[in-house]
Structure 1
Amino acid sequence: MEVCNGLRRTLAKARRPAVATHRSVDGAAARGATTMLRNVVQTAAFGVLVGFATLSTARADEPAPPFKPAISDEAATAISQMGKTLHARDLSVTARTVSVYLDEFGQPLHIFHTIKIAARRPDRIAVKFIGDDGRHDLFYDGKAAAVFFPDSKKYMTIPASGDIPSALDEIGDKLDLDFPLGVLFAGSPDEVLLDDTMAAWQVGTATVDGIECRHLLFSQKSGIDVELWVEKNDAATPHRLVVTYPLLQGQPSFVAEFTSWTTELPLSDSEFTFEPPADVKKIDPTPAVASGTEGSR
């Protein structure tokens, strides 16, 4: 599974330790950590691609047998129920996240965030990030996206359009900002998850914040392991997500725990529109926007 265009781009963004980090605003330490992890990911990805290319050439004359994922009935039912729950028009949730990876000396590092999310399908989302690399607020109202950095009293805006996953992709490309939980707001989050699944089953049950949950494991074609803890009922609301990259050095991982789910109360339009305070400064987006090309990642 690769994390904001559906699950593939969205969970892959979890490889980056700094969630919603902008190079021109945040500290050098966060930038260095991000660059270091990117190099590891890119090197591993290149090796996987070369291996697959060689294998494809060697077996070009052999017909590929049809692949049928081994998905248990329990896992399929629970994920389908979760997809229906997350397809609510209005959603709000708080997530506590941690990204774990090795630094250049082989020591494990942990980057923590608290993320508050409000969304209205198909094209409204507001996200507040508070974490080790500072605070960042993201707003998208269907026409434009704004990112506000309260600590430095700066903000930037770009035109944006489309549904939530499309807008998050555009924001990620143009502003070099990552939002690893965008999959929750894909059109069909359950289908996006299952599309890359080789095998899935229920490991057992566990209690998360006092709520009995099914513990589900998904082994992905891309070499990534995804674990989900969803309520053991017809809603199957997710309460914990763990993504592990076993093929990468140190097996980096991303963990999110969800609380305060709301899917019924309608959200106001003002939730998704940024009104800059009088004492803040507008800054230019990254050079990638000005040049029309993707910046260095």
Structure 2
Amino acid sequence: MSPTSWGQEGFMTDTGSSARLRKRWCGPLLALLLGATPLLAGAQQEQAPTERAESEAKVDPQAQRILRQMSDFLAEQREFSVRTEGTLDQLLDSGQKIQLQRAGDVRLQRPNRLRVDRAGDLAKLHLFYDGQRLTVHGEQANAYATTPAPSTLDATLDMASQRLGLDAPGGDLLVSNPYTALTEDVRSGKYLGRAKVNGVPVHHLAFRNRDGVDWELWVEDGPRPLPLKYVITSRDLPGAPQYSVTLSEWNLSPQLTPDQFQFTPPRDAVRVSFLAPDSQGGAQQQGGSK
């Protein structure tokens, strides 16, 4: 794989002009990951951004309650693994919209370890973050890119988005404060009622952001309010492309070990460089960044 092609095959992940839901991903996910702290001087005279957004947004109380329960429950988990299966719409230069499929496994250990193994229509990728380095390996090309990373997952996701142009649809669910990441730009939210995902009873929530993004969550009904399905629609892009993922096989006690997050280059693997976001031109528009 040539260095210039790496950006197209990248992260857990998809590259593109959209940032993430979180505020685009820096916002909610990474921004949130970063957990930027407002200046104390201004805090006494002005509401914090999240508080202000909540007061202005028209969110159904039941939707807000369930979203917060889910977010708090996720944040409490020190480690977990989950299976993902999803689709991502891609707009070709001709205006035609096609759907790409991918499935993967995510392993997370707070505060600073992440492993993603993902196979899809275009690539088979592995992401490693061990608290010191972020590495992405493309199995088909047997090429990898690696870079020093911050000491927390939140900050690393933010760095990946801002500096490397690598955005992970759904990444808002991985950060230390999912609620803040998810609601940063929310304009409205509704509770749509009960439904089922793969036979499991769930609550169906729908939200609309100010930045041209609609998103839905299906949250398990019961003592484990886990997200079982997540759909993001980029309504401001031609064709309103979507990213959809179902999450299953949640394991909240996976007994993860440090070596699972460390990358050892396979034999004959070629090291390449990450591309800066502004050098990844020519990519088709994709849905999915919140």
TM-score, structure 2 length as denominator?
0.75
Structure 1 equivalent of residue 58 of structure 2: 70
Specify the structure having the higher radius of gyration (Cα). 1
Secondary structure of the corresponding residue to residue 105 of structure 2 = strand
Which of 106, 123, 143 is the matching residue for 1:117?
106
**Could you tell me how far apart the structure 2 residues matched to 1:80 and 1:174 are?**
30
Alignment of 1:1-297 (within 5 A): 23-25=4-6, 38=17, 68-87=56-75, 88-277=77-266, 279-286=267-274, 288=276, 295-297=279-281
Pairwise CA distance, 1:222: 1.6
Kept in 1, the 8 Å contact 2:8–2:280? The answer is no
Pairwise CA distance, 1:70: 1.8
TM-score, structure 1 length as denominator?
0.73
Q: Which amino acid aligns with 2:182?
A: L
**Could you tell me how far apart the structure 1 residues matched to 2:193 and 2:205 are?**
7
**Could you tell me how far apart the structure 2 residues matched to 1:194 and 1:175 are?**
24
Gaps of 5+ in 2: 19-23, 25-51, 282-290
Return closer, same or farther for 1:283/1:173 CA change in 2, 3 Å cut-off: farther
**Greater relative CO, 1 or 2 (CA 8 Å, sep 6+):** 2
For 1:263-291, what per-residue CA distance to the aligned partner results, in whole angstroms no more than 9, with x for missing partners? 123311111101223x2323231354xxx
**Could you tell me how far apart the structure 2 residues matched to 1:287 and 1:239 are?**
33
Secondary structure of the corresponding residue to residue 161 of structure 1 = coil
Secondary structure of the corresponding residue to residue 237 of structure 2 = coil
For 1:242-278, what per-residue CA distance to the aligned partner results, in whole angstroms no more than 9, with x for missing partners? 111222211111111111111123311111101223x
Q: Which amino acid aligns with 2:193?
A: G
Larger deviation, residues 186-195 vs 210-219: 186-195
Structure 2 equivalent of residue 19 of structure 1: none
**Could you tell me how far apart the structure 1 residues matched to 2:66 and 2:192 are?**
13
Q: Which amino acid aligns with 2:91?
A: L
For 1:205-257, what per-residue CA distance to the aligned partner results, in whole angstroms no more than 9, with x for missing partners? 11101101111011112221111000112422111111112222111111111
**Between Structure 1 and Structure 2, which shows a larger proportion of helix residues?**
1
Secondary structure of the corresponding residue to residue 91 of structure 1 = strand
Q: Which amino acid aligns with 2:197?
A: V
Return closer, same or farther for 1:222/1:68 CA change in 2, 3 Å cut-off: same
For 1:97-150, what per-residue CA distance to the aligned partner results, in whole angstroms no more than 9, with x for missing partners? 111243233322111111211011111001111011111101010011122122
Kept in 2, the 8 Å contact 1:101–1:250? The answer is no
Pairwise CA distance, 1:173: 4.6
**Could you tell me how far apart the structure 1 residues matched to 2:152 and 2:83 are?**
21
Kept in 1, the 8 Å contact 2:215–2:232? The answer is yes
**Could you tell me how far apart the structure 2 residues matched to 1:127 and 1:147 are?**
9
Structure 1 vs Structure 2 CA RMSD: 2.8
Aligned length: 242
Return closer, same or farther for 1:264/1:287 CA change in 2, 3 Å cut-off: closer
**Could you tell me how far apart the structure 2 residues matched to 1:85 and 1:280 are?**
42
Pairwise CA distance, 1:68: 2.3
Kept in 2, the 8 Å contact 1:198–1:221? The answer is yes
Return closer, same or farther for 1:173/1:73 CA change in 2, 3 Å cut-off: closer
Secondary structure of the corresponding residue to residue 276 of structure 1 = coil
**Could you tell me how far apart the structure 1 residues matched to 2:167 and 2:61 are?**
33
